[in-house]
Amino acid sequence: MKKVLIIGATSAIAEHCGRIWATRGDELYLVARNEVHLQTIAADYEVRGASSVAINCVNLNELDRHVDLLESAENAMNGVDVVLIAYGTLSNQKECELSVEETLAEIQTNALSTISLLTLIANRFEAKKSGTICVMSSVAGDRGRASNYVYGSAKAMVTAFTSGLRQRLHKSNVTVVTIKPGFVDTPMTSEFKKGFLWVKPYVVAASIVQAINKNRAEIYVPSFWWLIMLCVKLTPSIVFKKMKM
């Protein structure tokens, strides 16, 4: 039985990870903004078999609440074994291009607040010499593309940061798992036309839980995105800059 802290627990992918953990009988501590939604999920986890579920309503952009949040989670479960960081917004690229404020707000949510949490969690886990930190990054962070480079650059920061953190914490027996999902059919992407590359959140969740169990480092979900992104990364800039993607 693990003690799992889910930050951004109302995101579709995180919710499905939570269902797997709940079915397994884990202890869960859920953090997100929307209280009603959190209560719905908590009741669901209890029926599915979680041994305990606690919720905490926090706007994660309020960085000064992060320490408090981690302490509450540790107190509620008497320690934390696994942290999943899964919140974020899918930036409206067009609006960001027209507004510095909008761009910085997106970077604040998708990169800086995550970095704040990661720094605090890393130090706590390093001190106790155990724990797993799993962070949702994105394939969008592998190479900036015109259609969503604001979101992509925030995720690039998360990927680079977790890569460094993984090296640093390796000797302290702390695992850092970076997840790069491809196209996932969630409420966040409801406006997109879905093709054959799209997968359901429960499929991604199963891969994430498995990656955590196996102490993986950086994974693409589904795994074929590794090949797609390799091609994207290897495309020479002279060609890439003319492409529409």
Partner 1 sequence: MTTTISGWGNYPRQESQCTTPPNAALLRSTVIQEGSFIARGMGRSYGDSASANKVLGTTCCNHFIYFDEHTGKLTAESGITLREILNVIVPKGWFLPVTPGTSYVTLGGAIASDVHGKNHHIAGTFGQHVTALNLVLGTGEFLTASKHENADLFYATCGGMGLTGIIISATIQLIPIRSSFINQKTIKADCIEAACEAFIENNNTTYSVAWIDCLAKGRNLGRSVLMLGEHAKEGGLEIELKEPIAIPFNVPSALLNSMTMKTFNTIYWHKATDKPHNAVPLMPYFYPLDAIGNWNRIYGKAGFLQFQCVLPKSDGVANMRKLLTEVSNSGEGSFLAVLKQFGKANDNLLSFPTEGYTLALDFKLNASTIQTVKSLEAMVVSMGGRIYLTKDAVMQETTFKATYLNWEKFEAVREKYGAIGKFSSAQSKRLGLA
- Minimum CB separation of residue 117 from partner 1 in Å reads 24
**Contact between 102 and partner 1 (CB under 8 A)?**
no
**Contact between 47 and partner 1 (CB under 8 A)?**
yes
Q: Sketch the per residue contact string, 160 through 199, with partner 1: x for CB under 8 A, - otherwise.
A: ---------------------------x--xxxxx-----
- Minimum CB separation of residue 183 from partner 1 in Å reads 14
Closest to partner 1 by CB, 11 vs 178, is 11
Pick from 2, 24, 33, 44: which binds partner 1 (CB under 8 A)?
A: 44
Q: Residue 128: CA atoms inside 13 Å, Cβ hemisphere, count?
A: 14
**Contact between 25 and partner 1 (CB under 8 A)?**
no
Contacts of 237 (CB under 8 A, 6+ apart): none
Closest to partner 1 by CB, 31 vs 176, is 31
**Contact between 43 and partner 1 (CB under 8 A)?**
yes
Q: Which helix (H) or strand (E) holds 31?
A: strand 27-32
The DSSP call for residue 65 is G
Contacts of 150 (CB under 8 A, 6+ apart): 91, 93, 96, 103, 106, 107
**Contact between 40 and partner 1 (CB under 8 A)?**
yes
Cα(31)–Cα(83) distance, integer angstroms: 11
Cα(164)–Cα(12) distance, integer angstroms: 27
Residues 135-164 that bind partner 1 (CB under 8 A): none
**Contact between 48 and partner 1 (CB under 8 A)?**
yes
**Contact between 41 and partner 1 (CB under 8 A)?**
yes
Cα(23)–Cα(21) distance, integer angstroms: 5
